[in-house]
């Protein structure tokens, strides 16, 4: 980890959208602020009609849409032409969700109660409607190359999937799925296989080919709570399925059969696993420099505890939490799954052991590293370019892990800064750390290899 | 007389009563004996004596003797009387009888002792056996009790086991029941959900109708100006053509994906096939050839040959293209066979090793470790020796080869040596030849000398003969002075006979000195002269003739 981290902090932000290129957008209340990524200098400032709930960049980074659900309005701003404006009003239909199409010229609005999805075009005057969309978490999925769109539908108490060609919104395929209650759909990165999985009451995942044929069905067990999260590997070779029984099952793309089963027990005994445990370091105070009244920096450094990683000796047991049995959507099972961009690692989080991140080596199909944090994991994300994982746990530290080691970095902010989510820049040179109200840009400087 | 009761030898005590008792137990018929016995007040010191004198007293000697005689005869001893029905006692026989009785007594005592010993032993054995019997009985009791206890435990455990089985069955039944309950509840919930959903859909439809009916002008998009497409092209209408094109595109995408995957799989396949073939070759090379059973060989033979043909074909052609099922199967099957054989072989080796470790050398193929070690040691020694030999030989070779390094000097040296030797040899030859010549000369001289000697002798004999003749004649001539028997040249005057003889001989000798030719002539002459002489001379002829012949012969002999 021979990299320097530069931090630039900003105040009072609500939403952040990562930029594809050099600009970064964030919104505060009803204002949209566009900045330069490297310097965070203000580039543009737009004002919307209402409090913005959602912002999204178009695929070519020329437009930003701002959705205001309460008002049912979507406003689109152009980066090239600040004068250009566009407003889409759903009126009494209401607005629940809004997103760009992959070509960057169409906006898909999902009306209230999931009555329909309206496809607004910015180039033509045409409007398309998709009826009976499914009211589920991931009802719309675009292929990576942006050619096809899969929409989950429900008619007559049955689930269907419609495949559209994004260029002209032609319905390509329409087929029913053998699911009780479709929970989500996701394309494989190669754009040829669509994963469709059922509600958590039923462990069932279906794999459909691009032309609508059912390739395979996988059921691990019956009756117990089923799939909680899934993730495709970037090469489309593997499909990782995290379920409520605290296990991750890996399916391979050739036979669509399970090739590995990863368990997340409360005790890790394998001697080849490295367990990094975050321990608090007592703050080092140089008594000479103490002055009265204490400066802000000093105060913050005194009160913010430093932490470092220690390697725990195997066997290690983790803090295991058994959730309350009579609540719905219990905090158990594998809640987060992510493959690294080079296909070598899989990071998982078992909600029963909320303080640990489990990193699995996919080449060997076994557990490689466990990061044990002091607080519960909020989110983690892999670097888009390297096998580097950034983790945040709700305190003002960001944790980075790579096969070389892991490091805990204190974000130098005045006051409280509880990082709840983070987002990498597509180049992997910087990442945005978000708290509830602020965000912070973290720049990772590459050291020249001599 | 009476039967003696078998009574043990009593311990004689001073008490006369004992004796009385003892004696009273005796059933001796002759009453006189008893009375006599009763009358005896015996002192202790003489008790034995008195006891022994109780039987016979001065009065009943004869009776006691006859009694004794009867007893002895009945017992098989000879009579103690000299004559039967006589009164003279045979002392010798008495003594013999006494001796016999003593011996028997000793024997009996010994027998008694032995019997007593045995009795004691048997008694102790009996005790011992009784003790052990008692112990075994105790043990038997204990073990019986234990068995009972264990049986009891066994019964308890079995009953526990049955209970647990029952519990398990119950639990399983419960689980099944619960599952059934769950499934029934799930179907019920689904049904309810569907019902609610239908209702909800109806509401949605209604709402949608209302929304649409309202014709809300608000549902619109306001845009300053329409933006061009991202790729710069114009928007196109949706037609059948476009639909077909889209389908085509989709299939193209799918096909390209499949093709890519197939390529990857082919590459992987080819690599794996290569690895398998390598493995097969290595396994075959590892396997010892004699371990292969002829059956398998014959099985593998055609298979292998086919396989090899196919593989040859595969190698000839492009490996990517050929992947027929049969070839694949054959390859995998043959590898499996070979691997199994290798595994068996390794297992056999393991068994052999373990057997060797446990030192059970039943198998002939197995060489014991010690022998093996000895052999290896021997071999090592041999190797060392051979190495040393090789080294020395190499050194010698090197030395020899090294000599050509001083080329000229060595050559010269060699030549010198050769020359020396040659000269020596030549000298020796010369000497040899000289000696040979000398020898021949000497021989010749000897032969000549011998011949001369022979001639001289002949001459001498002739002269002698002549002189004798002359003498005789002179003697006779003394009488006949007138006969004038003179021999001319050959014979000279008697006074000069010796000198003549010598002269003649010298004359004769001279011609002898010359070649052997005239030698033959002169004996003729000599014979002429000798024949003229008397018979003595004649008798000397053959001797004279013979001599030179002899000489010649001898000369010849010498020559030879």
What's residue B107's pLDDT? 95
- Any B CB within 8 A of A429 CB: no
List the single residue in B with minimal CA-CA distance to A111: B208
Of A132-141, A181-190, B551-560, minimum mean pLDDT range = B551-560
* Sign of the CA dihedral running A111, A116, A117, A121: negative
Closest approach of chain A CAs to the CA of B283, in angstroms?
Answer: 28
Cβ of B247 and A172 within 8 Å? yes
The residue of A89, A144, A221 whose CB has the most chain B CBs within 10 angstroms, and thus the best one to mutate to test that interface, is: A89
> How many C-beta atoms lie closer than 10 Å to residue B360's C-beta?
10
What's residue A241's pLDDT? 95
Low-confidence stretches of chain B (pLDDT beneath 70): 1-53, 84-85, 214-218, 230-238, 289-324, 359-368, 403-410, 477, 479-560
| Buried-exposed string B296-325: b where 16+ CB fall within 10 A, e elsewhere | eeeebeeebeebeebbeebeeeebeeeeee
What's residue A1's pLDDT? 30
User: Is there a contact between B210 and A39 (Cβ–Cβ < 8 Å)?
Assistant: no
What's residue B217's pLDDT? 62
Using CA atoms, how far apart are residues B62 and B68, in angstroms rounded to an integer? 10
Cβ of A122 and B223 within 8 Å? yes
pTM score, whole prediction:
0.60
Cβ of B216 and A165 within 8 Å? no
**Contacts A83 to B, Cβ<8 Å:** 224
- Distance between the two ends of chain B, CA-based, in angstroms? 132
| pLDDT (average), residues A4-12 | 42
Task: Of A38, A39, A70, give the one whose Cα is nearest residue A53.
Answer: A70
Q: Check whether A39 has a pLDDT greater than 80.
A: no
Using CA atoms, how far apart are residues A48 and B419, in angstroms rounded to an integer? 130
Task: Of A90, A100, A80, give the one whose Cα is nearest residue A17.
Answer: A100
List the single residue in A with minimal CA-CA distance to B195: A157
**Contacts A104 to B, Cβ<8 Å:** 230
B359 Cβ neighbours under 8 A, 6+ residues apart: B368
List the single residue in A with minimal CA-CA distance to B216: A91
Helix (H, G, I), strand (E, B) or coil at A17: strand
Cβ of A168 and B242 within 8 Å? yes
Q: Pull the structure tokens for residue A23.
A: 């600009």
What's residue A260's pLDDT? 92
Cβ of B222 and A86 within 8 Å? yes
Q: Pull the structure tokens for residue A422.
A: 């983070």
Maximum distance among all alpha carbons in chain A? 76
The residue of B193, B201, B246, B263 whose CB has the most chain A CBs within 10 angstroms, and thus the best one to mutate to test that interface, is: B246
Residue that the structure tokens 């321990």 belong to:
A279
Percent helix / strand / coil, chain A, rounded to 5 = 5, 50, 45
- Any B CB within 8 A of A170 CB: yes
**Contacts A223 to B, Cβ<8 Å:** 179, 182-183
**Contacts B246 to A, Cβ<8 Å:** 165, 167-168, 170, 172
What's residue B156's pLDDT? 97
| Between residues A144 and A324, the one the model is more confident about | A144
Using CA atoms, how far apart are residues A176 and A161, in angstroms rounded to an integer? 6
Using CA atoms, how far apart are residues B158 and A299, in angstroms rounded to an integer? 74
Q: Check whether A279 has a pLDDT greater than 90.
A: no
**Contacts A149 to B, Cβ<8 Å:** none
> How many C-beta atoms lie closer than 10 Å to residue A308's C-beta?
13
Torsion, Cα B226 B227 B231 B237, to 10 degrees, reads -10
**Contacts A172 to B, Cβ<8 Å:** 246-247, 250
pLDDT tens-digit series, residues A348-358: 999 999 999 99
B3 Cβ neighbours under 8 A, 6+ residues apart: B27
What's residue A359's pLDDT? 93
Give the whole-number percent of chain A exceeding pLDDT 90: 35
* Sign of the CA dihedral running A308, A314, A319, A324: positive
**Contacts B184 to A, Cβ<8 Å:** none
B22 Cβ neighbours under 8 A, 6+ residues apart: B7, B10, B51
The DSSP code for A283 is P
- Any B CB within 8 A of A157 CB: yes
**Contacts B214 to A, Cβ<8 Å:** 92
Cβ of A147 and B253 within 8 Å? yes
**Contacts B194 to A, Cβ<8 Å:** 157
- Any B CB within 8 A of A86 CB: yes
Concatenating the DSSP letter of every residue in B32-55 gives HHHHHHHT----STTHHHHHHHHH
Strands in A73-78's sheet, in edge-to-edge order, are A54-57, A63-68, A73-78, A85-89, B220-223
What's residue A425's pLDDT? 84
| Between residues A248 and A9, the one the model is more confident about | A248
Maximum distance among all alpha carbons in chain B? 225
List the single residue in B with minimal CA-CA distance to A168: B238
> How many C-beta atoms lie closer than 10 Å to residue A222's C-beta?
12
Residue B153 Rama label (left phi>0; alpha psi -120 to 50; beta): alpha
Q: Is the bond into B507 cis (omega within 30 degrees of 0)? A: no
Instruction: Enter the ipTM.
Output: 0.78
Residue that the structure tokens 């052997």 belong to:
B516
Among B211, B221, B224, beta carbon nearest to A93:
B211
Using CA atoms, how far apart are residues B311 and B332, in angstroms rounded to an integer? 13
User: Is there a contact between B183 and B191 (Cβ–Cβ < 8 Å)?
Assistant: no
Partner residues linked to A276 by β-bridges? A311, A371
| Number of cross-chain residue pairs from A and B with Cβ atoms under 8 Å apart | 117
What's residue B482's pLDDT? 53
Q: Check whether A339 has a pLDDT greater than 90.
A: yes
Strand pairing category for A366-372 and A274-281: parallel
Helix (H, G, I), strand (E, B) or coil at B212: helix
Partner residues linked to B295 by β-bridges? none
Q: Which of residues 95-124 of A touch B (CB under 8 A)?
A: 103-105, 113, 115-116, 120-124
- Phi then psi for residue B339, to 5 deg, are -65, -40
Cβ of A192 and B257 within 8 Å? yes
| Confidence class for position A447, pLDDT limits 50, 70, 90 | low
Closest approach of chain A CAs to the CA of B164, in angstroms?
Answer: 27
Which residues of B lie inside 8 Å of A (Cβ-Cβ)?
A: 179, 182-183, 186, 190, 193-194, 197-198, 201, 204, 207-208, 211, 214, 216, 218-231, 235-236, 238, 242-243, 246-247, 249-251, 253-254, 257, 261, 265
- Any B CB within 8 A of A258 CB: no
Helix (H, G, I), strand (E, B) or coil at B12: coil
Residue that the structure tokens 């493959």 belong to:
A339
| Buried-exposed string B56-87: b where 16+ CB fall within 10 A, e elsewhere | beeebeeeebbbbbeebeeeebebbbeeeeee
Report CA A353 to chain centroid distance, whole Å.
20
Concatenating the DSSP letter of every residue in B187-208 gives HHHHHHHHHHHHHHHHHHHHHH
Task: Of B461, B541, B542, give the one whose Cα is nearest residue B508.
Answer: B461
Closest approach of chain A CAs to the CA of B272, in angstroms?
Answer: 17
The residue of B227, B232, B234, B268 whose CB has the most chain A CBs within 10 angstroms, and thus the best one to mutate to test that interface, is: B227
A161 Cβ neighbours under 8 A, 6+ residues apart: A150, A151, A152, A153, A173, A174, A175, A176, A177, A182, A185, A194, A196, A208
Closest approach of chain A CAs to the CA of B238, in angstroms?
Answer: 7
What's residue B488's pLDDT? 43
Closest approach of chain B CAs to the CA of A6, in angstroms?
Answer: 36
**Contacts A105 to B, Cβ<8 Å:** 227, 229-230
Cβ of A201 and B186 within 8 Å? yes
A277 Cβ neighbours under 8 A, 6+ residues apart: A309, A310, A311, A312, A316, A372
């Amino acid at each position: 980890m021979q990299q320097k981290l530069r931090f630039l902090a900003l105040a009072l932000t609500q939403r952040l959208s990562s930029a594809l290129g050099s600009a970064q957008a964030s919104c505060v209340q009803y204002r949209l602020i566009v900045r330069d990524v490297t310097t965070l200098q203000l580039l543009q400032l737009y004002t919307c009609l209402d409090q913005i709930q959602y912002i999204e960049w178009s695929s070519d980074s020329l437009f930003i849409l701002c959705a205001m659900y309460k008002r049912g309005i979507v406003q689109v701003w152009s980066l090239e032409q600040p004068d250009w404006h566009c407003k889409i009003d759903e009126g009494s239909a209401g607005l629940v969700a809004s997103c760009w199409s992959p070509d960057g010229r169409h906006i898909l609005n999902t009306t209230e109660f999931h009555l329909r999805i309206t496809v607004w075009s910015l180039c033509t005057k045409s409007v398309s409607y998709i009826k009976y969309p499914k009211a589920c978490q991931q009802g719309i999925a675009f292929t990576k190359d942006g050619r096809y769109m899969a929409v989950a539908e429900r008619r007559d108490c049955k689930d269907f999937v419609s495949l559209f060609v994004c260029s002209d919104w032609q319905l390509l395929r329409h087929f029913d799925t053998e699911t009780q209650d479709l929970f989500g759909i996701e394309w494989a990165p190669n754009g040829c296989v669509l994963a469709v999985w059922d509600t958590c009451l039923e462990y069932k995942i279906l794999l459909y080919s691009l032309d609508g044929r059912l390739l395979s069905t996988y059921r691990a067990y019956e009756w117990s709570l089923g799939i909680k999260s899934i993730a495709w590997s970037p090469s489309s070779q593997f499909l990782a399925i995290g379920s409520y029984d605290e296990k991750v099952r890996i399916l391979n793309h050739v036979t669509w059969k399970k090739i590995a089963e990863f368990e997340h027990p409360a005790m890790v005994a394998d001697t080849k696993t490295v367990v990094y445990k975050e321990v608090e370091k007592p703050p080092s105070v140089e008594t000479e420099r103490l002055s009265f009244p204490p400066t802000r920096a000093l105060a913050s450094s005194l009160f913010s505890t430093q932490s470092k990683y220690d390697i725990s000796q195997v066997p290690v047991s983790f803090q295991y939490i058994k959730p309350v049995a009579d609540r719905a959507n219990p905090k158990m099972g594998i809640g987060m799954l992510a493959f690294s961009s080079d296909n070598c690692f899989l990071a998982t989080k078992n909600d029963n052991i909320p303080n640990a991140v489990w990193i699995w080596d996919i080449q060997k199909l076994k557990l490689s590293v466990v990061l044990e944090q002091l607080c519960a994991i909020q989110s983690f994300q892999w670097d888009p370019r390297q096998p580097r994982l950034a983790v945040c746990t709700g305190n003002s530290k960001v944790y980075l892990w790579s096969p070389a080691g892991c490091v805990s970095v204190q974000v130098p902010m005045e006051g409280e800064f509880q990082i709840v989510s983070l987002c990498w820049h597509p180049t992997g040179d910087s990442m945005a750390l978000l708290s509830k109200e602020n965000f912070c840009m973290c720049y990772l400087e590459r050291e020249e290899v001599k | 007389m009476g039967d003696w009761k078998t009574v043990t030898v009593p311990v004689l005590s001073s008490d006369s009563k004992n004796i009385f008792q003892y004696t009273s137990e005796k059933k001796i018929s002759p009453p006189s004996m008893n009375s006599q016995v009763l009358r005896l007040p015996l002192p202790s010191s003489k008790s034995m004596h008195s006891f022994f004198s109780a039987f016979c007293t001065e009065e009943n000697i004869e009776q006691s003797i006859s009694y004794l005689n009867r007893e002895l005869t009945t017992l098989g001893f000879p009579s103690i009387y000299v004559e039967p029905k006589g009164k003279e006692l045979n002392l010798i026989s008495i003594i013999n009888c006494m001796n016999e009785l003593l011996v028997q007594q000793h024997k009996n005592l010994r027998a008694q002792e032995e019997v007593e010993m045995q009795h004691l032993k048997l008694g102790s054995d009996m005790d011992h056996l009784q003790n052990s019997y008692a112990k075994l009985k105790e043990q038997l009791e204990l073990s019986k009790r234990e068995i009972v206890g264990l049986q009891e435990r066994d019964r308890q455990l079995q009953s526990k086991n049955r209970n647990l089985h029952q519990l398990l069955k119950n639990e399983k039944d419960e689980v099944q029941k619960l599952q059934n309950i769950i499934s029934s509840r799930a179907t019920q919930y689904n049904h309810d959900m569907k019902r609610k959903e239908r209702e909800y859909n109806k509401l949605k439809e209604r709402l949608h109708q209302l929304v649409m009916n309202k014709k809300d002008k608000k549902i619109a998009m306001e845009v300053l100006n329409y933006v061009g497409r991202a790729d710069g092209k114009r928007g196109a209408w949706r037609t059948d053509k476009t639909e077909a094109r889209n389908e085509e595109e989709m299939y193209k995408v799918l096909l390209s994906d499949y093709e890519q995957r197939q390529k990857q799989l082919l590459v992987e396949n080819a690599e794996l096939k290569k690895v398998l073939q390598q493995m097969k070759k290595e396994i075959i090379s590892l396997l010892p050839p004699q371990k292969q059973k002829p059956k398998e060989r014959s099985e593998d033979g055609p298979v292998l040959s086919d396989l090899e043909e196919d593989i040859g074909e595969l190698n000839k052609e492009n490996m990517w293209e050929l992947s027929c099922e049969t070839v694949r199967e054959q390859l995998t099957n043959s590898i499996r066979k070979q691997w199994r054989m290798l595994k068996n072989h390794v297992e056999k080796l393991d068994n052999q090793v373990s057997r060797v470790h446990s030192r059970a050398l039943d198998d002939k193929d197995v060489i014991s470790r010690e022998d093996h070690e000895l052999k290896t040691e021997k071999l090592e020694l041999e190797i060392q020796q051979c190495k040393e030999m090789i080294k020395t030989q190499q050194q010698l070779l090197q030395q020899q080869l090294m000599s050509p390094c001083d080329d000229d000097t060595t050559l010269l040296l060699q030549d010198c040596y050769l020359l020396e030797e040659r000269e020596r040899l030549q000298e020796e030859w010369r000497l040899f030849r000289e000696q040979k010549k000398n020898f021949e000369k000497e021989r010749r001289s000897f032969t000549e000398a011998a011949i001369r000697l022979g001639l001289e002798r002949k001459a001498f004999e002739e002269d002698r003969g002549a002189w004798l003749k002359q003498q005789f004649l002179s003697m006779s001539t003394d009488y006949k002075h007138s006969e004038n028997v003179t021999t001319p040249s050959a014979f000279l005057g008697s006074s000069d006979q010796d000198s003549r003889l010598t002269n003649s001989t010298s004359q004769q000798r001279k011609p002898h000195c010359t070649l052997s030719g005239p030698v033959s002539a002169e004996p003729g002459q000599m014979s002429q002269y000798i024949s003229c002489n008397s018979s003595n001379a004649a008798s000397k002829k053959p001797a004279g003739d013979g001599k030179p012949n002899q000489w010649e012969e001898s000369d010849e002999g010498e020559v030879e």
